[in-house]
């Protein structure tokens, strides 16, 4: 699915009118175009399925270390900064930190690819819970490991700037797959 910038421009212009403003006034003349370019960037992930993202970032290395199914050797990348937009209010989810861990099977993924996966998944209209689930699924596809953990902590402007207005509140979600789902010790190593 391609992002339709022309439709975005038209709708933003209509939104400005619906808000009671004049889209022809100096400060707003180029706003529909700027918003269309911004949406194309911040919603880039909507152009791709999880499978396509896995193909895009499929860069693994056969590992010379001897990982076994009994092993608890872990790869862990912490504090990956992302942001996204809530699908319920189109509100910003911000100050988000993602931690991704996996137990390697026969190969490891390039570390920068882990951050790129988190970034691309977040560039969709999303739920924080789905971001974790999508990242875990993509990591499973690429690494061949069933043992994946994704922790996300973030703020939601639909809670901090409107509605209940509780600035400083954080939402934490966890996605545990494979051994992480049943092994509390592994879960604690990720936190």
Q: Is 128 noted as a catalytic residue in this protein? A: yes
Alpha carbon distance 89, 125 (integer Å) = 10
Q: Is 72 noted as a catalytic residue in this protein? A: no
Options 33, 86, 153, 187, the catalytic residue: 86
**Nearest of 136, 135, 145 to residue 63 by alpha carbon:** 145
What value does the CA radius of gyration of the chain take, rounded to a whole number of Å? 20
**Nearest of 172, 100, 184 to residue 142 by alpha carbon:** 100
Q: Is 41 noted as a catalytic residue in this protein? A: no
Strands (E), 20-71: 60-62
Alpha-carbon dihedral 2, 3, 4, 10, rounded to 10 degrees: 170
- Give how far Cα 122 sits from Cα of 45, 51, 96, 162, Å: 7, 15, 10, 22
Options 128, 140, 146, 187, the catalytic residue: 128
Phi-psi region of 176 (alpha: psi -120 to 50; beta: other; left: phi over 0): beta
- The residues, any chain, with a CB within 8 Å of residue 37's CB and separated by 6 or more, are 5
Q: Is 89 noted as a catalytic residue in this protein? A: yes
Options 30, 52, 89, 129, the catalytic residue: 89
Options 41, 52, 72, 88, the catalytic residue: 88
Options 41, 51, 87, 129, the catalytic residue: 87
Q: Is 11 noted as a catalytic residue in this protein? A: no
Q: Is 126 noted as a catalytic residue in this protein? A: no
Q: Which residues are catalytic?
A: 86-89, 128, 156, 158
């Amino acid at each position: 699915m391609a992002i339709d910038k022309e439709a975005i421009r038209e709708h933003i212009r209509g939104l400005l009118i619906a808000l009671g403003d004049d889209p022809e006034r100096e400060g707003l003349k180029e706003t529909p175009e700027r918003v269309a370019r911004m949406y194309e960037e911040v919603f880039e992930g909507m152009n791709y399925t999880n499978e396509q993202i896995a193909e895009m970032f499929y860069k693994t290395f056969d590992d010379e270390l001897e990982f076994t199914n009994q092993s608890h050797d872990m790869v862990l990348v912490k504090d990956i900064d992302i942001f996204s937009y809530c699908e319920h209010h189109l509100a910003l989810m911000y100050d988000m930190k993602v931690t991704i861990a996996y137990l390697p099977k026969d190969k490891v993924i390039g570390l920068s690819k882990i951050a790129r996966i988190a970034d691309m998944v977040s560039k969709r209209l999303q739920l924080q819970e789905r971001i974790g689930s999508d990242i875990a699924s993509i990591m499973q596809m690429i690494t061949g490991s069933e043992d994946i953990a994704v922790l996300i902590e973030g703020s939601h402007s639909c809670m901090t700037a409107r509605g209940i207005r509780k600035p400083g509140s954080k939402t934490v979600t966890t996605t545990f797959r494979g051994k992480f789902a049943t092994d509390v010790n592994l879960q604690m190593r990720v936190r």
